[in-house]
Amino acid sequence: MHDTLILFGATGDLAQRYLFPSLLHLWRDRLLPPDFRVVAVGRQPMDDDGFRTWLRERHGEAAEDGDLDGLLARVQYRTVDLDDEAAIPNALGVYADRPCVSYLATPPDLFVPAARGLSAAGLLADPSRLVLEKPIGRDLASARAINAALRECLDESRIFRIDHYLGKAPVQNLLALRLGNTLMEAVWQHRWIKSVDILVAETAGVDGREGYYAGYGALRDMVQNHMLQLLALIAMEPPAALDADSIRDEKRKVLCALRPMEPGDVATDAVRGRYRAGVVEGDAVIGFDDRHADPRGPVETFVALQAWIDNWRWAGVPFRLVTGKRLAARTTEVVVSFKPVSHWLFERPRRERARANRLRMQLQPEETIELGLMGSLAASEWGAMELRPMTLDLPVSRSDQRRIAYERLLVDALRGNQTLFVRDDEVEAAWRWIDSVERAWSQAQAPVHDYPAGSWGPAEAAAFMPRTLLKSPRGGDA
């Protein structure tokens, strides 16, 4: 395990909300090397003591006695302008005395100059590693350019592209549920499955990130990475082994099999939306700020897509992807709807009113697995057997030892385990499909529909929403 972490963007939101709390938990539980050190890099001029005081003000209340002091004693701070490649060797070259992990929690336009500066400083020499936050570029061309530049500095086996969804325990449970159970794998194909819904709903808005969001939108910010990674895990062929390359090979095949969207598909396979003022969880909120609109076209905060995977396993099965900001509830769930039985024997209900089996896996905020079945209410007073829907509800107990995604991913990066990280060809395959959606939207002049904050998105997207959601207490009686 490497014992040096060089963290770029150390004063940013991601570092303060997730990375430093994760490091604190790992240090508390003795999961970091005894000689571990953090080199925090930012633009703000501070010395070591000033940065440690700054960290203590933000994390002191959440830390137990002694834990924060122990971590802070291993933190140093360096002020570096990442736009200046030459400044990196001068400021950080001294840390090339032992292998390290450099973590770029920065915008993607800084990836290349930062990597080149780190390389010049000797900080990417084998076996040192590089971690990059999403997004990798904003389209296929920029992603290819970034990947090519990174390969000039170090080989792919030492590049770790983070998608924090892959570090979530419930997401990893998708693989266990499917590949560890004969019941699931036997029916995991187009012959038995009618459709698959993937929903990532957020109550939060883009407050404070309007400038970033105006250049990306929900399609690039959420679908290109989180949602397509979920789709790939659900749809991939069983890998030969659970090693990094075997799993990523199968995910890439799924992403390459996604049918490009054409302008004629937009009317039936896509809906875009943007939230306006409304009420979320009892609080009035403002709408998306139009002053940050992208000059290249309108920006969406909600997107619903119908994707098709052109391969033997999934031919003809729609995968509906829905994500949005300022929705009615925060939830991430996957709903697999099965086809009805081939021959209906029962008088009640009639075949057209029977409910097909459905598997619902909620990943957050609670982790649950529900299997919808049909069961009998037959009794002596009944003249015929009547079937009614029934649900097997399997809540997954949360262990106090379960770690948040970034804790798992930080340890894996320090150890060199790439299984839960994204490979360059996966990134490019995902962008290839996203670019086809963008082109189709542009050529079809796809509108952006308004929706009130606190709703489930534009009315035009109702057909894309999982039926389980719309019938649940969270979704009302739509």
Give residue 210's pLDDT: 77
379: confidence class by pLDDT, cuts 50, 70, 90: low
User: In this structure, are residues 246 and 240 in contact, taking their beta carbons and an 8 Å threshold?
Assistant: yes
Domain boundary among 133, 150, 182: 133
Give residue 213's pLDDT: 82
61 and 114: one domain?
yes
What is the spatial distance between Cα 253 and Cα 276, in angstroms, rounded to a whole number? 38
User: In this structure, are residues 407 and 238 in contact, taking their beta carbons and an 8 Å threshold?
Assistant: no
Share of the chain above pLDDT 70, in %: 89
Residue 49 lies in a domain: yes
383: confidence class by pLDDT, cuts 50, 70, 90: low
User: Is pLDDT above 70 for 62?
Assistant: no
Q: What pairs with residue 376 in β-bridges?
A: 387
211 and 294: one domain?
yes
Domain containing residue 199: CATH number: 3.30.360.10
472: confidence class by pLDDT, cuts 50, 70, 90: very low
216 and 70: one domain?
no
Give residue 443's pLDDT: 96
Give catalytic residues, as residue numbers.
Answer: 226
Phi, psi of 324 (to 5 degrees): -170, 155
E runs forming strands in 365-459: 368-376, 387-395, 448-452
169: confidence class by pLDDT, cuts 50, 70, 90: confident
Query: What is residue 154's DSSP assignment?
Result: S
Domain limits at 75? Answer: 4-133
| Interacting residues of 128 by C-beta distance below 8 A, sequence separation 6+ | 2, 99, 100, 101, 102, 154, 158
Task: Report the sign of the C-alpha dihedral through residues 325, 326, 327, 332, in that order.
Answer: positive
Residue 346 lies in a domain: yes
370 and 285: one domain?
yes
Q: Which helix (H) or strand (E) holds 201?
A: strand 193-201
Q: What is the mean pLDDT of residues 340-365?
A: 78
Residue 408 lies in a domain: no
